[in-house]
Amino acid sequence: MARPDLTAWDRFLKGLSHYYRETKEDFEASIDFFKQATALDPTLSIARAYLATIMVQGVQYGWLKSSRQLWTDAMELAESSVRLAPRSSFAYSILAYMHVMQGRYDAAHEAIRRAVELNPYDMGARGVQGICHLVVGEHREAIELLSMAVQRGNSDPRYQWGASIAFSHYLLGHYDACLSWAREALYFNPNHLQVLAVRAAALARLGRPEEAAQARDALLSNYPEFTIERNLRNFFWKKPDDLAHYREGLVKAGVPYGKIELVAKRAAD
């Protein structure tokens, strides 16, 4: 419970300290502090941007349930952050991220163009630019930009570079490289839902069924309600072939496709 004498900035900093620990409990505490900060000072742009980021990351980690309301709230936070800080490359980067993760490719392109224009040396913006390329299916460009962000020392947990690079390598058919980046991402967050999933798919594609089954079981032990159908509802990749490629890898790994198959697997176990 935060002390009543803490300012909005104090609460934001407390939220930030929890955010960097990357556990479910710390994410929940971070969200609470960021909400307190924005309630005390509605003009605190950076708290709004971080709150939008952590809400979406919570979905990707499997720690928050995806809903239309969550995405609406996150987008409103990102848009208001830009209105309050129109010279912030970070605010525009988060806005671009929100747009592209919901399939608004042109709006994402415009927002990330503005972020890079405001600060060409912001590696966070360059990384989000890479994610924009990933979502539209331009994976070589995505890897180049994401690798630049990694190589220049941007390990800020706001940006899950390893997870994004793993996906681009998977979609190019570079399954060994995908596994390498998945290991890197899991080092920082061993329970990252999307990384656990793409690791299982990559192992299956490599023809390593026993390891793929172990990876699948690790995914399902952490997220017992996981199904391919439910997970892919949150993917707005532009190219249908990319979605099919990923879906087939998960099927090959033995991940339950839908609820009926999930129930059947539990009964068999």
Residue 220 lies in a domain: yes
Structural domain including 212 reads 173-269
d(CA 90, CA 103): 20
How many independent structural domains does the chain possess?
1
DSSP state of 189: -
User: What pLDDT sits at residue 258?
Assistant: 86
Q: How far is CA 119 from CA 100, 122, 156, in A?
A: 20, 5, 17
Cα distance between residue 51 and residue 53, in whole Å: 5
Task: Write down the pLDDT at residue 188.
Answer: 83
On whether the CB atoms of residues 162 and 188 are closer than 8 A, the answer is yes
In-domain check, residue 66 = no
Supply the pTM of this predicted model.
Answer: 0.89
Tell me if 212 is assigned to some domain: yes
Q: How far apart are CA 111 and CA 263, in angstroms?
A: 43
Q: Write down the pLDDT at residue 106.
A: 97
Among residues 26, 161, 45, 156, which one has the least CA distance to residue 95?
45
Task: Give me the CATH number covering residue 236.
Answer: 1.25.40
In a domain, 242, yes or no: yes
Residue 202 covered by a domain: yes
pLDDT by residue (tens digit) across 40-94?
999 999 999 999 999 988 888 888 888 999 999 999 999 999 999 999 999 999 9
| 98 occurs within a structural domain | no
pLDDT at 268: 66
pLDDT of residue 23: 86
Block mean pLDDT (10 aa), the chain, length 269: 76 93 90 96 96 90 89 96 96 96 96 96 92 98 93 65 95 98 91 96 98 97 94 94 98 90 64
pLDDT value at residue 75: 96
In this predicted structure, what is the pLDDT of residue 152?
A: 78
Whether 262 is in a domain gets the answer yes
Quote the pLDDT of residue 41. 96
Does residue 137 belong to any structural domain of this protein? Answer: no
